Chain A
Amino acid sequence: MTNLAKESSTLGGDKHISMTNPQLPRFAPLLVAVIAWGLAALIGIIALGGSIPGIVVVGWIIFVLALPAWSRAIEGPRRSTDRLVTALIWTTFAVAMLPLFAVLTTVVRRGAPALSAEFFTYSMDGVLGEGGGIYHAIMGTLIVTGIAALISVPIGVLAAIYLVEYGKKNRLSQVLTFLVDVMTGIPSIVAGLFALAVFTLLFGPGTRMGVAGSVALSVLMIPIVVRSTEEMLKLVPDELREASYALGVSKWRTIVKVVLPTALGGIVTGVTLSIARVAGETAPLLLTCGVLRVTNFNPFDGAMQTLPVFIFSQATSGGLARYVPFQVERAWGAALVLIIIVMALNLLARVIGSIFSPKTGR
């Protein structure tokens, strides 16, 4: 055994090259973190008057200086840089997560007490102080965004099919792509003004209609649907189209039966995400659908309440001081419901995407 080891060590050359390197113990980052924030707490209490953000920042500075320094002394410069960059990346991640986490916890904490059976089944009809619900707003949001999706999905998907399959780099498709890009950047209030202007021209001033809100939302939705569908169609390999053509299949049948099914998962995901994106729009709906305290199921007749506008009106409407706490509570509750709806749509998009995506069978 020892003989063999000796022989093999001479095979690669005479000099023994070590591949080991001194390493910090595995708990090193944890140890440094504890010491750093302990030290920071001490400094904070003595010099900063115990301010918690101050302690966090000071502790972070100590950690980012101390851990690489210790590592440099023992492990060498490469490992030290690695530890520094790792610490920085975790910091940016934490900073990015902070607002999201804060928003979620605040909304859940303040909105959860408002949720009750009454909250989901009653409108605000005749309610001033305690009680009332968001049934009318939920129905309004579902109807308005539903009609918006009905308008924008066919237009958006068909436009994307034209851009990818028929208008390959011709003049018209270049102009269309540019316009879609411009439309993506339209501020939502402008879309609302547009819809308001159209319906004022058609039905006279002061018109409030659910469908006007749908039109405003579809102005915002169409570019998103076009863009995401376009990207998905571009991902379908040309080989599949050629395979279909080579079987003597006409172009439109190839698109309907080969290209669209292959891209369906992505298209449905894109559409669902665009619905989630516009479901929370406030400004255009405030302009076009107005505010209403009772349930209205007819999108072609009169104002319609929606969740974002409900939140806005509850949070800003004045009134007697004793009603205000109930209004604020209802606003938080509606905000929580809106977030849940949007999250559910996002989850649904993922599920649908995985159901429709082509299976490899492996």
Chain B
Amino acid sequence: MAKSIDVSDLNIYYGDFLAVQGVNMTIKARAVTAFIGPSGCGKSTFLRSLNRMHEVIPGARVEGKVVVDGQSLYDPTIDPVAVRRQIGMVFQRPNPFPTMSIYENVLAGNRLNSKKMKKSEADSIVEKSLRGANLWNEVKDRLSKPGMGLSGGQQQRLCIARAIAVEPQVLLMDEPCSALDPISTSAIEDLIHELKSDFTIVIVTHNMQQAARVSDETGFFNLKATGEPGHLVEFNPTKKMFSNPDEPSTEAYISGRFG
């Protein structure tokens, strides 16, 4: 079910502005890959280019190759909508649909695509996804209540449930815990550990400890200088990254000596 992602010579632009330059990496299947780096270095931009969410912003474009399962995502024949069905995304701020109940939010990916399904099938998808997101026990008695009525941490787990309900190959997470308290954060980190047996997970985080705790591999992004494009400094297994990094700037960033 899970797929790996090969990225080669990826340049990402906002109009004429080159935001991220020359990224090469292979993201492993059924593993958690974390991206760290200072603000504005292009981690989120890179993440969004992995499921063609980048081009939603007017003027944004991409050069280079992103290959998933032998298909180049930026090939003209590829349908971005189909890509996003395979590669789901969880955003920094929880964003449940305000007009929908908890139940409808989980089913949103299926319902919005007008997939016909039986009530029992829908119920089982909702339960499975909410259990998968560790939210079932908290909301099972109020599935018809609005999703916006949950706490921030619950909303974020609802968004994760919504993302995994469409059974994607890859799950991208853009700082999923930055708006949450430590308890919700720990709930989501546990969840990431469980999810990685089924999904390929890519997570952007500002929290170094979080990257160390949850990820198998880590990529460090940095700016060459202010105004220059961001680039991938180092990409290594997390253990090596946090004990014996190849690059001195990685060590400086991780140990808190800059950025």
Residue B15 interfacial (CB < 8 Å): no
Verify A358–B99 contact, CB threshold 8 A: yes
Verify A359–B95 contact, CB threshold 8 A: no
Give chain A's interface secondary structure class.
helix
Q: How far is the CA of A261 from the CA of B100 in the complex (A)?
A: 9
Verify B51–A246 contact, CB threshold 8 A: yes
Residue of B nearest to A257 (CB): B112
Stretch of A49-57, A180-188, A236-244, A325-333 with 4 or more beta carbons under 8 angstroms from chain B: A236-244
Stretch of A64-72, A86-94, A248-256 with 4 or more beta carbons under 8 angstroms from chain B: A248-256
* Residues from chain A with Cβ under 8 Å of B96 in the complex: 243
- Residue of B82, B93, B97 contacting most chain A CB atoms (<10 Å): B97
B112 in complex: contacting residue of A169, A258, A264, A361, CB < 8 Å: A258
CB contact list, B119-173 vs A, under 8 A: 145-149, 159, 162-163, 166
Verify A361–B53 contact, CB threshold 8 A: no
B58 in complex: contacting residue of A169, A240, A253, A262, CB < 8 Å: A169
Residue of A nearest to B109 (CB): A247
Residue of B nearest to A168 (CB): B58
Residue A2 interfacial (CB < 8 Å): no
Verify A248–B91 contact, CB threshold 8 A: no
Instruction: Kindly provide the distance from the CB of B156 to the nearest chain A CB, expressed in whole angstroms.
Output: 12
Q: A245 with B146: in contact, given A168-B58, A254-B112, A257-B112 (CB under 8 Å)?
A: no
Q: A244 with B89: in contact, given A262-B99, A361-B149, A362-B149 (CB under 8 Å)?
A: no
Q: A245 with B53: in contact, given A239-B93, A358-B99 (CB under 8 Å)?
A: yes
A248 in complex: contacting residue of B85, B148, B159, CB < 8 Å: B85
Verify A361–B146 contact, CB threshold 8 A: yes
Q: How far is the CA of A139 from the CA of B187 in the complex (A)?
A: 63
* Residues from chain A with Cβ under 8 Å of B114 in the complex: 253
Residue of B nearest to A264 (CB): B99
Residue of A nearest to B81 (CB): A250
Verify A242–B91 contact, CB threshold 8 A: yes
Q: How far is the CA of A253 from the CA of B83 in the complex (A)?
A: 16
B163 in complex: contacting residue of A246, A361, A362, CB < 8 Å: A246
Residue of A nearest to B58 (CB): A168
Residue B108 interfacial (CB < 8 Å): yes
Residue A360 interfacial (CB < 8 Å): yes
Verify B91–A262 contact, CB threshold 8 A: no
* Residues from chain B with Cβ under 8 Å of A362 in the complex: 149
Residue of B nearest to A170 (CB): B58
Instruction: Kindly provide the distance from the CB of A319 to the nearest chain B CB, expressed in whole angstroms.
Output: 57
Residue B182 interfacial (CB < 8 Å): no
- Residue of A168, A240, A248, A264 contacting most chain B CB atoms (<10 Å): A248
A247 in complex: contacting residue of B99, B145, B149, B163, CB < 8 Å: B163
Residue B230 interfacial (CB < 8 Å): no
Q: A361 with B81: in contact, given A237-B95, A247-B88, A253-B112 (CB under 8 Å)?
A: no
Verify A244–B148 contact, CB threshold 8 A: no
Verify A245–B56 contact, CB threshold 8 A: yes
Among all A-B residue pairs, the 3 with the closest Cβ atoms:
A361-B149, A248-B85, A358-B98
10 additional contacts, CB 8 Å, given A253-B113, A262-B97, A361-B147?
Answer: A168-B58, A240-B97, A242-B91, A245-B56, A245-B84, A250-B113, A258-B99, A258-B112, A264-B99, A358-B146
A-side interface residues toward B, CB under 8 Å?
168-169, 237, 239-250, 253-254, 257-258, 261-262, 264, 358-362
- Can you give 12 contacting A-B residue pairs, CB < 8 Å? A237-B95, A240-B98, A242-B95, A244-B112, A245-B81, A247-B109, A248-B83, A248-B109, A250-B81, A253-B113, A261-B99, A262-B98
